[in-house]
Amino acid sequence: MKEWFDNNRIYHLLIDRFNGGWKIPPKSKNVFCGGNLQGVTDKLDYIKELGFNAVMLSPIFASANYHGYHTLNFDEVDPHLGTWEDYQRLLDTAHDKGLKIICDFVPNHCWYQAPMFQEALLKNGGRNRDWFFFKNESNDEFVSFLGYGDLPKFNLTNPNVVSFMIDKAEKLANMGVDAFRIDHALGQPHRFLKSLRESLQAIRSDIVVFGEVWAFGIGPQLASQLYFKTENRLNEFLAQETKPFSQDNLQADYVGTLDGVLDFAYRDLLLEEVHAGHGIKGNATLKSKIADHFAKYPADFKLVLFLDNHDTDRFLFDCHNNVTMLQEAIDLTMEQTRPFSFLYGTEQLMTINSTIFNAEPYADLRVRNCMDWTKQPTALRLCK
């Protein structure tokens, strides 16, 4: 029933940065820029005409920030983006046009000012305190998501938290969401993820649940925040400073837990060749590495291929703005007959001037520019 996801062409967008009816795109800043759900609905024909058959949306719940990953309330659509009615209209219109909708679901953490977290603080009564991780029961110092001090981490070993999160996901599934991207799945127990997947697929057996499983930039000191399937994998992670940690091995651990994962290991293979100054077209060594990579997974495990996303440098930047190399990477990826996710703006050759992986605050804004609707798509072959 989940075969629809195979060879899918996914258009990945940040709602706030996509279409707010602007004529001149707002400058990318760490604030809401005006994109909304209606703006996405209005551009579904544009997305379909490019050849895509699915749209992956950034999180929609009420959030302290434009990108949606700082959840304030799991019961409300962020008012900057619209309403539940707007979301339902987007789902229904997309389905009428033959497009699937993938939602980004964030059960790992919330914003520190979320009422449900504020109520857990001792100074406010300590209600449902065991929904979060506190370093000491005598004060309100809490465990934050990967050290980001304003993002308290949920305790997803707590059955009440599990039920809460599954309930919120089930609402989206009942509205018609076709697939779920689980943000920072590495920070969530396998038991929870499996229960989430099984609950969603009890609603519709064709729903696909895949995870963002990425260890990049996470040091051994944060191992206590992560959930590994085996002790061997934990030991590999702890030893990464002396021996490279295998992204491939990590992804393969989610076989049986999730339907698939975003394939960061595939992207790494392409970047190794690009950074070494090698071409992509006709690169037999690269094709051999890719074949070996895919052989590590069962045939029915969904590896979602991508060249870049909202948390990475633009692939065109990695190619030194060589459009021919970008096209070769797209062509090679389309040959793999697997789901392929494109970051919005690729069709306009969006790029950056410097890497986002530096110490500069909010450097990721460089890859999150607002769409410029005065520009026409280039002649890139995006889909087939």
User: In this structure, how many other beta carbons lie within 10 angstroms of the beta carbon of residue 295?
Assistant: 8
Is the distance from CB of 60 to CB of 15 less than 8 angstroms?
yes
pTM above the 0.75 mark?
A: yes
pLDDT score recorded for residue 315: 98
Give the DSSP H/E element, type plus range, for residue 264: helix 264-275
What is the per-residue pLDDT across 167-213, written as a single tens digit (0 to 9) for each? 999 999 999 999 999 999 999 999 999 999 999 999 999 999 999 99
Is the distance from CB of 200 to CB of 252 less than 8 angstroms?
no
Residue ranges covered by each domain of the chain: 3-106+156-213+254-367, 109-155
CATH of 3-106+156-213+254-367, one of 3.55.40.20, 3.40.640.10, 3.40.50.150, 3.20.20.80: 3.20.20.80
What is the per-residue pLDDT across 23-65, written as a single tens digit (0 to 9) for each? 899 999 999 999 999 999 999 999 999 999 999 999 999 999 9
What single letter denotes the amino acid at residue 114? A
Helix intervals (H) in 150-221? 159-175, 190-203
What is the per-residue pLDDT across 309-322, written as a single tens digit (0 to 9) for each? 999 999 999 999 99
Q: Does 95 have pLDDT greater than 90?
A: yes
pLDDT score recorded for residue 383: 85
pLDDT score recorded for residue 89: 98
pLDDT averaged over every residue in the chain: 96
- The CATH number that domain 109-155 falls under is 3.90.400.10
Q: Does 1 have pLDDT greater than 90?
A: no
Q: Does 147 have pLDDT greater than 90?
A: no
Bridge-based pairing state of the strands 61-63 and 54-57: unpaired
Share of the chain above pLDDT 90, in %: 94
| Residue 306, phi then psi, degrees to nearest 5 | -160, 155
